[in-house]
Amino acid sequence: MSPNAVIPSHRKPRRSASSRALRAGVTGGIITLAVTGASMPAGAAEKPVSETQEMPTITSALATSLAKSADTAQQMALDYERQAAQDTATAEATEAATKAKDEADKKAAAEKKAEEARKAEEKKKEEAAQQRASRSSERTSLRSLAATSDDSPVTGATGSTSSLVGFLRAQLGKSYVLGASGPSAYDCSSLVQAAYRTIGIDLPRTSQPQSTAGTQVGLDNLQVGDILYWGSAGSAYHVGVYVGNGNFIGAQNSSTGIVERPLSYSQPTGAVRVL
């Protein structure tokens, strides 16, 4: 081989190097990276690659924006909690009002039912009293009834009592109507009141005060014109007038009307003397 021969080099030629720099920034909340470089000639000596990286910087505007977002989220959470509390309170108030109304309705219905029951019981007692005062079952024989004549003289009657008894006998056969005051129909107390009015004596309208309108007398010491009553004095439920000979006249009930009957027909409780 020639001493001057050129031996080719197996060494690869150097490529042009680049100097690169890494830059970072924040754009619209997104981190961006940029690589920049400068070409170097092939024969230039290689220099170490200088790479730089800049981290995003939190600026005042970004911090303010983030703070506002946090405040908004917190306010929304508070509003939600407040609305939920209001909804719960409203539901509880509605439930309480409904319950109170139901209880009030039940109480009113119970009171109405009790009042109706009380009225029904009072009516029942009144009807029973009328039935007791005017028993339809005759407890006297036809013989005792025949022995008493409507036209028989009144023993021990004075002028006033004769007028009283005369008026009462003139009403025999007329109808009994509760609350009626004549002249075609009477109830027990209105008949007694009308009879005494004919002789100038005013009596109370109902049987209760009539049973205490005069002096209390025993049933074994009756005189013509004495007011007979059934029930307690002051709370009597029926009245009639003693007309002598062991008989009385009274407006008994709607079945019998105004009749004359012996005391044994319906034994009175007591009597008062007005004349």
Segment (H or E) for 133: helix 60-133
157 or 149, greater pLDDT: 157
243 or 40, greater pLDDT: 243
What is the rounded average pLDDT of the residues 100-126? 86
Average pLDDT, the chain: 78
Query: What DSSP character marks residue 185?
Result: E
Q: Which amino acid is at 273?
A: R
81 or 260, greater pLDDT: 260
Query: What pLDDT was estimated at residue 48?
Result: 52
pTM for this entry: 0.45
What is the rounded average pLDDT of the residues 23-44? 48
1 or 259, greater pLDDT: 259
160 or 38, greater pLDDT: 160
Q: Which two tokens stand for residue 103?
A: 């209880």
> How do beta strands 215-217 and 270-273 pair?
antiparallel
Q: Say how many C-beta atoms besides its own lie within 10 A of residue 135's C-beta.
A: 14
> Candidates 3.20.20.150, 3.40.50.300, 3.10.100.10, 3.90.1720.10; correct CATH number of 134-273?
3.90.1720.10
Asked whether residue 42 carries a pLDDT value surpassing 60, the answer given is no
Dist CA 120 CA 101 (whole Å): 28
What is the rounded average pLDDT of the residues 90-106? 89
What is the rounded average pLDDT of the residues 96-124? 87
Dist CA 113 CA 228 (whole Å): 38
Task: Match 């002096």 to its residue by tokens.
Answer: 215
Asked whether residue 122 carries a pLDDT value surpassing 70, the answer given is yes
pLDDT band at 10 (very low <50, low <70, confident <90, very high): low
pLDDT band at 222 (very low <50, low <70, confident <90, very high): very high
Residue-wise pLDDT for 191-203, tens only, equals 999 999 999 999 9
